[in-house]
Amino acid sequence: MQTDFLVIGSGVAGLTFALEVSACGRVAIITKKESTEANTNYAQGGIAAAIGISDSIESHIKDTLLVGEGLCKLEAVRLMATEAPQVITELSELGVKFTMARETGFDLGREGGHSARRIVHTKDATGEAIETTLIKKAQERGVDLFENWLAVDLIVCQELTPDTQHSRCVGVWVFDTMEDKVFPFFAKSVLIATGGIGSIYLHTTNPKIATGDGIAMAYRAGVPVANMEFVQFHPTSFYGKKIDGRALLLSEALRGEGGVLRTKDGHTFMEKYDTRKELAPRDIVARAIHSELKRKGDNYVLLDITKLGAHKILDKFPNIYESCCSLGANPIKEPIPVVPAAHYTCGGILTELDGKTEILGLYAAGEVACTGVHGANRLASNSLLESIIFAKRAAKTAAKSFDSHQVSNLNKSEFLDWSKCSNLPYMRELQGKESNAGTDYNLSLLQIRKLMWKQVGIVRNDKELKKAKTEILKYKSDIEKIYKTHKINLQLIELRNAVTTAGLVIECAIMRKESRGLHFNLDHPEKDDLHFKKDTILKI
């Protein structure tokens, strides 16, 4: 198969890119599940944009930089904050129905780390509202959408010029999970927009599909990845019960409207950790909860929103209310049991401001990418915003490059010399592979998730990180042997990606001998600007 623009992932970044380039050529999106299954869907809070009367773009920039603990790239942050108001306008014009206030226009929420109310939202289901709108528009514009297709590896070849040699991505190897076969899908430009890595942890707000596929795939192809140690743990997920393996996210907006954290015996505690209390940045709140649980020996703390009143809860947070009730807790009448859970990765595939990677023709956007916006910790509700803005920039660059190709159709013989392909996969033919019978991939993934939760979690230390590296390298070796000898399936591909991504998180965490943002090491509790005020970069 072949197309002009190939998008891997159907979240907000992938859909935004697809819409932007659809006027230039054929566009195909591949997604390993249904088109609507993405981290985008679970983004409850909204999109940060300085559109309030008492707010400013400079204030948005300042808040982002402060939370990012010195590692944000100013140019990227300024670009994002400056373009945020226009993003809200464009989404509204596309049909996203944001919640409005009768007298002031957009109903602006407040979340941790923000100095003003600037969260534009659709009640408590903003991500779903945007996702649904973008999918509809993509279908209207003729974008081809292939569900249950999983990208396995990039097809990368060497391109010679008179002066130098470059690596160019000319497509991906795709596994059709329904037909049980692997085939090449060629394209002039490829965007990786596969989302995050939450499912490498035992407790996560992410759906099961978040196994780090795009990051692992890019890393194997020789693309640098950065800042993988900065895994954000959302402070408040529902304790004790899950929905399809995913912990129910309880939006930071609940605390923005007055929700209070308490220990099981009813005492508040955030005042001991930060003057901003419940509205401190996520890393501070998550570590405070972790500290209280360890101090008291409890399994959870309480998020109390009862004082908001029934009318406000039902009006602003109808989906959260219904979800909590379905899990056995009525937030109108009683506090909700909560614990932190893996939520977002601030690191990823290293990109330029236009989404380009080190490999020609390959772009990345959304949570999978490291643009420099988030630094050591992401400011709440900057994620959807970053995804849209940098996906649009990647699309403009890809479209411009597409025009310069001056060819109407992709010719395999022009773009691909199999003998020079840097990662020619051995899975092209499935015949001759051993049966998967007796191989428990779910158990192997569970072992990795437990390891990451216990040894590479909210609080870390050198001894546990070293131990985790030894264990993960053994897992990786064993999984690669199975991968080379057994029949390919979805679980095996995901397991391979998960162990690769877990190894990257561990290695970056070991390299950073300090505590900064989301990375807190008990053996190095202070920030060390002299040696570590820089990105942690890994490359094969």
Rounded Cα–Cα distance for residues 322 and 313 (Å): 10
CB atoms within 10 A of CB 310: 13
Query: 34 and 219 in contact (C-beta within 8 Å)?
Result: no
Please choose, from the candidates 526, 518, 524, the residue with its C-alpha nearest in 3D space to the C-alpha of residue 71. 518
- Residue 429's pLDDT is what? 47
pLDDT at 408: 44
User: What's the Cα-to-Cα distance from 121 to each of 91, 136, 316, 438, rounded to whole Å?
Assistant: 11, 19, 10, 47
The three-class DSSP label of residue 214 is: helix
Give me Rg for the CA atoms of the chain. 23
| 429-538 belongs to CATH 1.20.58.100 | yes
- 3-state secondary structure (DSSP) of residue 186: strand
The dihedral over CA atoms of 530, 531, 533, 536, expressed in degrees to the nearest 10, equals: 170
Q: What is the pLDDT of residue 487?
A: 85
Spatial CB neighbours of 31, under 8 Å, sequence gap ≥ 6: 8, 9, 10, 14, 37, 38, 145, 146, 147, 148, 149
Mind listing the pLDDT tens digit for each residue in 211-234? Answer: 999 999 999 999 999 999 999 999
* The pLDDT of residue 528: 98
- Give the pLDDT confidence score for residue 162 in this predicted structure: 66
Q: Which 3 state secondary structure label does DSSP give 358?
A: coil
Produce one character per residue of 76-105: b if its CB has 16 or more CB atoms within 10 Å, e if not. bbbbbbebbbebbeebeeeebebbeeeeee
Whole-angstrom Cα distance, residue 497 to residue 321? 35
Convert the pLDDT of each residue in 434-484 to its tens digit. 777 778 898 999 999 999 999 999 999 999 999 999 999 999 999 999 998
CATH 3.90.700.10 domain span(s) along the chain: 237-340
The topology under which CATH files domain 237-340 is Flavocytochrome C3; Chain A, domain 1 (3.90.700)
CATH 3.40.1190.20 fits 2-229+346-413, yes or no: no
Distance separating alpha carbons of residues 359 and 529, to the nearest angstrom? 31
pLDDT of residue 430: 46
What are 472's strand-pairing partners?
none
Residues 6+ apart with CB under 8 A from 162: none
CATH 3.50.50.60 residue window(s) in the chain: 2-229+346-413
- Burial of 439 per CB tally in 10 Å (0-12, 13-18, 19+): middle
Instruction: Say what the pLDDT of residue 422 is.
Output: 47
Within the chain, all domains assigned CATH 1.20.58.100 are found at 429-538
**What pLDDT does 165 receive?**
77
Catalytic residue among 117, 246, 255, 282: 282
Residue 311: φ, ψ to 5°:
-60, -45
The question of whether 141 is a catalytic residue gets the answer no
In one letter, which amino acid is 251? S
Would you give per-residue pLDDT tens digits along the chain (540 residues)? 899 999 999 999 999 999 999 999 999 999 997 755 554 555 566 999 999 999 999 999 999 999 999 999 999 999 999 999 999 999 999 999 999 987 668 999 988 899 999 999 998 889 889 999 999 999 999 999 999 999 999 999 887 666 777 889 999 999 999 988 888 899 999 999 999 999 999 999 998 999 999 999 999 999 999 999 999 999 999 999 988 889 999 988 899 999 999 999 999 999 999 999 999 988 999 999 999 999 999 999 999 999 999 999 999 999 999 999 999 999 999 999 999 999 999 999 999 999 999 999 999 999 999 999 999 999 999 999 999 999 999 999 999 987 655 444 445 555 454 444 445 444 444 445 677 777 889 899 999 999 999 999 999 999 999 999 999 999 999 999 999 888 889 999 999 999 999 999 999 999 999 999 999 999 999 999 999 999 999 999
Using an 8 Å Cβ cutoff, are 455 and 464 in contact?
yes
In this structure, is the dihedral angle defined by the CA atoms of residues 37, 319, 379 and 460, taken in order, positive or negative?
A: negative
